[in-house]
Amino acid sequence: MKKNITILITGVVLSFCFIILYKGLNNPNTYVPKTSIKKDIPIFNAVDFFSRKTVSSDEIFKDNTYYIVNIWASWCVPCRVEHPLLMQLNENHSVKLIGLNYRDSFNNAKKFIDEFGNPYSRILIDKDGTLGVEFGAFGVPETFLIDRNKKIIKKFIGPIDQEAVNKIKLMIK
């Protein structure tokens, strides 16, 4: 009797482990933070790219509109790829783009914008990457969509593509 119970328990535990490990095989083993959690926008002060004045997050996001925060750098190759899409998004009037210039030199960044166009209504300087951390970013490029209630509602890690742009357009309608 006791033996049967032991066998039964072992059997159940083994099948459980097998199923979990089998399913686990399909999971990716590198970690990427979750991309769709509602979060408040962080509170911070940052330096404006052109005016060199310190502005607060309240001031930056003061309008009753959708915002897109895009982290970019002139040295980042994928940023060039997504740049035309950002320009395209900028034509949409229900959204404002905020650029976060990540670990870059002013001159290079300026050159980049002069060459490819400036989709941002405002650019902030993130000299040491700490501003990116406030947003929960860990590299460039990353893009955040902020709704009218000042919540981050969507996050794109890596360069955005046409599909992402369509998704954003759908969400801000």
Binding site for another protein (CB under 8 A): 3, 6-7, 10, 14, 18, 20-27, 29-31, 33-34, 39, 103, 128-130, 132-136, 138-139
- Measured from the CB atom, the residue of 14 and 171 that comes closer to another protein is 14
Residue type, 157: I
- Measured from the CB atom, the residue of 13 and 171 that comes closer to another protein is 13
Least separation in angstroms between residue 117's CB and another protein is: 26
Least separation in angstroms between residue 61's CB and another protein is: 18
CA torsion sign, 8 to 12 to 14 to 18? positive
- Measured from the CB atom, the residue of 5 and 170 that comes closer to another protein is 5
- Measured from the CB atom, the residue of 18 and 50 that comes closer to another protein is 18
Strands annotated E in the chain: 39-40, 45-48, 54-56, 66-72, 95-102, 122-126, 142-146, 151-157
What strands lie across the sheet with 54-56, from one edge to the other?
Answer: 39-40, 151-157, 142-146, 66-72, 95-102, 122-126, 45-48, 54-56
Least separation in angstroms between residue 131's CB and another protein is: 9
The answer to whether 132 touches 126, Cβ cutoff 8 Å, is yes
Least separation in angstroms between residue 162's CB and another protein is: 27
Residue 127's H or E segment, with its range, is: none
Least separation in angstroms between residue 38's CB and another protein is: 12
- Measured from the CB atom, the residue of 33 and 117 that comes closer to another protein is 33
DSSP state of 76: -
Residue type, 86: L
